[in-house]
């Protein structure tokens, strides 16, 4: 998600450093591939900021982290992985992904030596990653513990792309880097890859929002009252393919979004930053989304069912989709119907689902406990 998010301000570690005790230093490497990784880590880092000195390495802007952490961190803007190149929110440019990965790996020797020097000079004592692999190798070289906190690794993703076997040296390099990690903590909806030898499943890591529906009804009483409120989050890639004008035919629902929309539709409200993403999720009856991890986790944490479509070549979706349907958390529809806004019957069915209590949460607390025990 983009930068305008609700800070939680709750659930911190049990105590800060005692007088005279040196503050321990944690480096957190966060993928710049979308905001989902940063959302998850911000929830975790918020619970660490009072006790530890936090150094964040990412391409995500500093303003995002200030929403959660104030000035209790140091940001180092840098690319930490090759990420993934998307055509839109359901399709991936596979060849371009491998090209970027090859370019990133070509710079590995220089990158690795620079990172080892920085970790030593900054006196880092623990490395966290979501979900960059090279910092894990740097940490191992210095004898530092490292924890991957992610529901997938890039090896999981790349190894299942079409034509992956033609790029085996790149895959082997990724696997070797992830093998250097001390542990992978796997939030719900995770892949089953084994690149990290030691893994442990944890609950969802989710944001919390505030129900703003009364404010929406005050601002747009004729549009919102007595209607099914559907929050749409598709991100910045691909929403232009949606047949937005057809939403006018879905008269029993009103749709709210922060996404860019190319058409004016009477029952579609395009909101600004006054309405934060987790608040809109907390306010909605149904969440209609591309099924990225952080949006799903926040929806389920607020008891909101989800309507989505399949995402081609997204390995994580091979696990997210079945998880969503098997636990009765939502519904997956064909992408042609999804882009056509043929949603009326499915919204009605999804709204009847009871989501609360179906899946475990509190993954951030499990992360905090592991870190506290590891650095005690």
> 282-330 pLDDT, tens per residue?
999 999 998 889 999 999 999 999 999 988 778 888 999 999 999 999 9
pLDDT at 236: 67
Please give the C-alpha separations between residue 259 and each of 32, 142, 253, 293, in angstroms, as whole numbers.
Answer: 19, 43, 18, 18
The H-or-E segment that residue 294 falls in is: helix 293-301
Beta-carbon contacts of residue 319 (< 8 Å; ≥ 6 apart): 151, 189, 190, 191, 192
pLDDT at 44: 98
pLDDT at 328: 96
- The full set of domain ranges for the chain reads 25-205+361-375, 213-351
What is the number of other CB atoms lying within 10 angstroms of the CB of residue 354?
Answer: 10
pLDDT in tens, 256-278: 999 988 889 999 999 998 899 99
CB 228 within 8 A of CB 285: yes
Model confidence at 9, in pLDDT bands (50, 70, 90)?
A: very low
Cα dihedral 129, 130, 135, 137 sign: positive
**DSSP-assigned beta bridge partners for residue 155:** none
Q: Is the pLDDT of residue 13 over 70?
A: no
Average pLDDT over the chain, rounded to an integer: 91
pTM of the model: 0.91
Q: Is the pLDDT of residue 356 over 50?
A: yes
Assigned CATH class of 25-205+361-375: alpha beta
pLDDT at 88: 83
CB 229 within 8 A of CB 287: no
Same fold? 25-205+361-375, 213-351:
yes
CB 126 within 8 A of CB 144: yes
Residue with tokens 């749409």: 232
pLDDT in tens, 98-113: 999 999 999 999 999 9
d(CA 193, CA 190): 9
Assigned CATH class of 213-351: alpha beta
Strands (E), 258-371: 268-270, 286-289, 306-309, 330-333
Model confidence at 91, in pLDDT bands (50, 70, 90)?
A: confident
Q: With pLDDT > 70 as the criterion, what percentage of the chain qualifies?
A: 94
Q: What is the CA radius of gyration of the chain?
A: 21
CB 316 within 8 A of CB 152: yes
Angle at 358 between CA 356 and CA 360, to 5 degrees: 100
d(CA 189, CA 316): 8
Model confidence at 332, in pLDDT bands (50, 70, 90)?
A: very high
Q: Is the pLDDT of residue 11 over 70?
A: no
């Amino acid at each position: 998600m983009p930068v305008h998010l609700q800070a939680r301000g709750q659930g911190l570690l049990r105590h800060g450093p005692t007088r005279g005790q040196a503050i321990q230093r944690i480096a957190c490497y966060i993928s710049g591939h979308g905001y989902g990784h940063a959302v998850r880590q911000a929830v975790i880092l918020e619970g660490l900021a009072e006790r530890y000195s936090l150094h964040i390495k990412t391409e995500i802007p500093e303003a995002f982290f200030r929403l959660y952490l104030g000035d209790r961190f140091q940001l180092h803007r840098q690319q930490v992985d090759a990420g993934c190149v998307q055509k839109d929110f359901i399709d991936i440019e596979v060849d371009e992904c491998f090209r970027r990965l090859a370019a990133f790996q070509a710079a590995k020797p220089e990158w690795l030596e620079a990172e080892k020097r920085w970790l030593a000079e900054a006196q880092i004592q623990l490395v966290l990653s979501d979900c960059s692999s090279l910092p894990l190798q740097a940490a191992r070289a210095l004898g530092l513990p490292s924890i991957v906190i992610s529901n997938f690794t890039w090896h999981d993703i790349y190894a299942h792309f079409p034509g992956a076997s033609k790029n085996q040296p790149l895959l082997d390099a990724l696997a070797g880097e992830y093998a250097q990690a001390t542990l992978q903590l796997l939030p719900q909806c995770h892949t089953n890859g084994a690149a990290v030898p030691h893994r442990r499943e944890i609950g969802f890591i989710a944001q919390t929002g505030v129900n703003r529906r009364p404010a929406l009804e005050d601002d747009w009483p004729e549009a919102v009252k007595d209607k099914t409120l559907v929050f749409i989050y598709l991100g910045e890639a691909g929403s232009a393919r949606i047949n937005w004008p057809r939403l006018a035919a879905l008269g029993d629902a009103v749709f709210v979004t922060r996404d860019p929309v190319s058409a004016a539709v009477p029952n579609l409200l395009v909101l600004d930053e006054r309405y934060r993403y987790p608040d809109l999720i907390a306010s909605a009856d149904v969440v209609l989304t591309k099924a990225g991890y952080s949006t799903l986790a926040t929806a389920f944490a607020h008891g909101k069912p989800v309507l989505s479509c399949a995402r081609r070549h997204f390995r994580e979706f091979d696990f997210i989709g079945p998880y969503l349907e098997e636990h009765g958390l939502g519904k997956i529809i064909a992408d042609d119907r999804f882009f056509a806004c043929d949603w009326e019957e499915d919204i009605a069915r999804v709204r009847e689902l009871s989501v609360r209590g179906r899946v475990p949460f509190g993954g951030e607390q499990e992360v905090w406990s592991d870190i506290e025990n590891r650095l005690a």
